[in-house]
Chain A
C-alpha cells in the first residue's frame, strides 16, 4: 500500500485554479520528486498535502482521506512540511526552533536525543544553537528548517526547494544531509526541487508537472535517460 496517494487533486487560490487534477503516489520509505518549471504547481501540490490550500479530489495518507484537514491536523498525523522560504522562527533560537518542531511529542528524553542528532547532522547549527534563527545564513536556516521537520518524527517530509538561493556547495551539503536523514531515520519524502541533479540524489522516482497537470512520471533512471528531461532540468 502506498503511504501517500493523490488522486485527481485540484487546488485553487481564490478564483485562480493552480492544480488541474494531479495524481501520484509515494510508497512507504520511498522518496518521490516533483519536477517542473516555475508555476507548474509543485509548491501548491505540497500545500495541498499539508492542508494549507483548498483542494478537491482525494489525498490518501495511510489509506485515509486527509483532504480538508488543516496544517496542524496533518502535522499531527505525521506530515512535516518544510515550506518554501524555510519558515524558520526568526526570534527563536536554533534550539527553540527544533523544540517547536517536536511540539506534538511527549517523549522528553527522545526529544533531547533527536536534538543532538540534528546538530550532528548539521554541524553548522551546533555552533549557533543559542543564536536567533534570523541571524543564521540562508544555508543554516534551510538546515534548521529540515531539522525542525525531522523533530516531529514524521512519516513523510514535504521538502520545498531546499536549494533555493543557496550557493551550490551549500545546497550540496544540505542535500547530503537529507540523503543521510532518509537512510537513517526511515522517513519518506516528497521533494520539490528546481535543480533535478540534487533531487535525483534523494528520490527513487519523480513526477514532472506542467501548468498544474502531470506531464510525465518515471523512475529516476528512466527520467535521467530521457533527452527532454535532461535538457530541461539537468542542464545538458
Chain B
C-alpha cells in the first residue's frame, strides 16, 4: 500500500511541473485566445536570468523576483513588438509566430549559456521527509504549495476581477471588446506579461530538478499542453487537476503494468487524454460551447 502511495506522490510531483507551465498556457489562452508555443521559451529565458543572478551570489528568492519582473517585461515586449503584428490575421500564422519565438528564445539562451544543463539552486531545502511510510521531498511540497497558490490567484483573477473579465473578453472577441471601450492592446500586453512572469516562477521551481538548459521545458511543454487542453483550456483548476492526473497515471502505468515499463509510460496518459477528449470534447472542466448556426 505504501508503495502505491509513493508512486502516486511521485506522480503528483511530476504533475506539479506540468501544471506550472500548463497554468501559463491557460493564462495566455485566456488573454489572447492563442496557443502559445513560446511559453516554454519565455519561461526558460527568464529562468536563465535568475540563474545568472544566483551565479553571482544573489539569493534564490531575490533572483526569482527579478526573473518574474524580467519575465513580465519580456512577455509584454514580445507581444508589443512581435505578436501585435499578427493579431487579427490568420490564427495559424500567429501560432507559427509563437513557434518562431520559441526557436529564437532557445537559440538566445544557448548563445549565452550553451546547450548543456547546469545545476540550479533550489528555493526549498533539498531534504526528504517521511510521512506514514511515504517519502516526500520538501522540494515537491514547496513546488506544489506555490503552484496551488498561483492557481487560486489565477482563478480569482479571472473570475472575480475586472482585469480578468476584460482579458477574457478580449480573448473572446477583441474587435467587439474595443466597442465597449476596453483597451485591447494594453490588455494583450498584460496577458503576455503575466504569462511570462508565471513562466518564470514555473521555471525557477522546476529548474533544480530538471537542471537548467535551453531545452529544459521542451518535453514539459508537451505534457503542459495536454494538461491545459484536457483541463478545458480556460480553467486554471482544470489544468492543475489534469496535470496531476497525467503525472499520476503515467507513474502508475510505469510502476504496475509490466509490459509498459519506463519506455512506454508516456503513451498511457496521452492515450487516456485521447479517449477522454473523444468522449468529452470540451475537456474535463471546460464549459461546453454551443456553436451558433
Interface residues of A (CB under 8 A from B): 50, 52, 70-72, 75-76, 80-81, 83, 87-92, 96, 99-101, 103-104, 132, 134-135, 138, 141, 148, 152
Contact = CB atoms under 8 A, between A and B. Distances in A.
Nearest to B293: A138
B166 interface: yes
21 contacts: A70-B178, A72-B182, A76-B181, A83-B176, A83-B179, A87-B176, A90-B289, A90-B292, A91-B168, A91-B234, A92-B165, A99-B162, A100-B165, A103-B180, A104-B181, A134-B290, A134-B291, A134-B292, A138-B292, A148-B180, A152-B180
Interface string B147-174: 0000000000000001001101101110
B172 A89 contact: yes
B169 A92 contact: yes
Contact of B181 (A75, A91, A96): A75
Contacts of B162: 99, 103
A89 B169 contact: yes
Nearest to B186: A72
Q: Give me the 8 closest cross-chain CB pairs, A-B, nearest first.
A: A87-B176, A75-B181, A71-B178, A89-B172, A104-B181, A135-B290, A100-B169, A81-B179
B22 to A, nearest CB: 19
Given A71-B175, A89-B176, A101-B180, 13 more contacts: A71-B181, A80-B179, A80-B180, A83-B179, A87-B176, A90-B172, A92-B168, A92-B172, A100-B177, A100-B182, A103-B181, A103-B182, A134-B291
B166 A100 contact: yes
- Chain B interface mostly helix, strand, loop or mixed? helix
Contacts of B246: none
Interface residues of B, number: 24
A50, A89, A101, A141, most chain B CB atoms within 10 A = A89
Nearest to A133: B172
B290 A103 contact: no
Contact of A91 (B172, B179, B182, B184): B172
B184 A72 contact: yes
Contacts of A91: 168, 171-172, 234, 287, 289
A79 to B, nearest CB: 9
